[in-house]
Amino acid sequence: GAVVSQHPSWVICKSGTSVKIECRSLDFQATTMFWYRQFPKQSLMLMATSNEGSKATYEQGVEKDKFLINHASLTLSTLTVTSAHPEDSSFYICSVQGGLLVGNTEAFFGQGTRLTVV
């Protein structure tokens, strides 16, 4: 299956600063990647769909100006949390999911990034 590398695995930042999280698909060209957020003791909620070469699609309630997504190549998508606040502290996970061309495949997830805003 696809190998998805996410970096960093954890980060602590000061309130008001920005944090960039990288998601790399190491052996799979991903035109689409997905970003999820998971608050403590909760399930994973889809934040946005990252589309290579075009704008990301955000889920309802997710601020696109706060969570900037860039998908500049088939192997890299980045999520930047701008002007982070303590309520943005969460576990962020990216995913690569096969589409029609690669058949009915599972989703592959990065290791996740634990963001703590102090």
Partner 1 sequence: SQQGEEDPQALSIQEGENATMNCSYKTSINNLQWYRQNSGRGLVHLILIRSNEREKHSGRLRVTLDTSKKSSSLLITASRAADTASYFCATRGGGYQKVTFGTGTKLQVIP
Report the interface residues with partner 1, using CB under 8 A: 1, 32, 34, 36, 42-46, 49, 60, 91, 93, 95, 97, 99-100, 104-112, 114
Nearer to partner 1, 6 or 78 (CB): 6
Shortest Å distance, C-beta 45 to partner 1: 8
Nearer to partner 1, 36 or 78 (CB): 36
Shortest Å distance, C-beta 100 to partner 1: 5
Shortest Å distance, C-beta 64 to partner 1: 16
Nearer to partner 1, 18 or 38 (CB): 38
Instruction: Give every strand in the sheet of 19-25, ordered side by side.
Output: 4-7, 19-25, 76-81, 67-73
Tokens, residue 82: 């701008």
Q: How far apart are CA 28 and CA 49, in angstroms?
A: 17
The shares of helix, strand and coil residues in the chain, as percent rounded to the nearest 5, are 5, 50, 45
* Sequence-ordered list of residues with C-beta below 8 angstroms from that of 46, at least 6 positions apart, any chain: 34, 35, 36, 59
* Cα torsion angle, 39, 44, 45, 46, sign: positive
Shortest Å distance, C-beta 112 to partner 1: 4
Nearer to partner 1, 57 or 82 (CB): 57
